[in-house]
Amino acid sequence: MVQSWEELEGTELPKNVDWRNMNGTNFLSWNKNQHIPVYCGSCWAQGTTSALADRFNILLGDKNPTPVALDAQVIVNCNAGGSCEGGNPGGVYEFARDRGIPDSSCEQYVAHDPSGYGCDPIN
């Protein structure tokens, strides 16, 4: 296995890396507020879906006309790591691997736990 420091000399590295402005392109998702419209402790879902979306945006570069944004409300609905009472990002990664996470346009973020329905695609 080749180590990163064996590939590049330190002098070849950029002095600054800011994914919000890489040659004029912002690869990062937008800031989210887990407490709008009401209080919901879903930071574990918001942060993880943003981190995953950012990786897709970086990978796709300028080939994607709109930034990738993944749906945190679906993660809360499916209890994929927790609920509005808190959770664990590990569950989000497992859910993403096993089932995928839809685009944020699939369901509006409403900041509450689901009431009485399952996690089937129709729901």
pTM of the predicted model as reported, rounded to 2 decimal places = 0.81
- The Cα 5–Cα 115 span in angstroms is 51
Domain for residue 87, yes or no?
Answer: yes
- Which tens digit of pLDDT belongs to each residue from 39-69? 999 999 999 999 999 999 999 987 878 889 9
Domain for residue 62, yes or no?
Answer: yes
Domain for residue 36, yes or no?
Answer: no
Report yes or no: 71 and 104 within 8 Å, Cβ to Cβ: yes
Domain enclosing residue 73, as ranges: 41-113
Mean pLDDT of the chain: 87
CATH number of residue 50's parent domain: 3.90.70.10
Domain for residue 120, yes or no?
Answer: no
Domain for residue 24, yes or no?
Answer: no
- Which tens digit of pLDDT belongs to each residue from 11-39? 877 888 899 998 888 888 888 888 888 89
How many structural domains does the chain have?
1
Domain for residue 61, yes or no?
Answer: yes
Report yes or no: 94 and 82 within 8 Å, Cβ to Cβ: no
